[in-house]
Amino acid sequence: MPKISRRVGLVSLLGAVAVAGITIVLATTTASSSSSEPTVRDASAHFVAPSNGIDGAFTFTANTADDSGVRRLDVLAWPESKAKEPTAGDVADADRATCRKMGDEQARCTYTLRVTEEEADGLERGRWVISALLTSRDGDTKFVREAADVSVDF
């Protein structure tokens, strides 16, 4: 009987070690795969033309996220008819949205530009595209060439 008990004990011990090893591998794989790249989603843009001496506005809003947190969101609006589409570098030198934390990893970012009647007269009519460059707290970036679009017609 003692030999059987030792065998059962040895098999049980080997089984426990195997289960522990699998658990460690799964935990390591899950931890390393939880790292994610920055995201820009649910983006929208609106243009309200100035009227009767009251300024209009161009507004862009997006939900952003990264596992390290959001540092900033830069935006650049450009007419679709523009000969050259902007690069991430062009957007990095553009305007910055105001980002409000929505948790450790997420932020809602909004950019608003007031537009006077005089400024509106100089705007190209038609479809405008908004490019966005998200920078996370750990320095990762996500460039979205066409995050949203808006029609500038009035």
What's 74-137 look like in SS3?
Answer: EEEEEECCCCCCCCHHHHHCCEECEEEECCCCEEEEEEEEEECHHHHHCCCCEEEEEEEEEEEC
* Per-residue pLDDT, 25: 39
pLDDT, tens digit, 9 for 90 and up, residues 87-105? 999 999 999 999 999 999 9
Q: What share of the chain is helix, strand, coil (3-state, %, to 5)?
A: 25, 45, 25
pLDDT, tens digit, 9 for 90 and up, residues 26-54? 343 334 345 589 999 999 999 999 999 99
Q: CA 38 from chain center: how many Å?
A: 5
Band (pLDDT 50/70/90 cuts) for residue 136 is very high
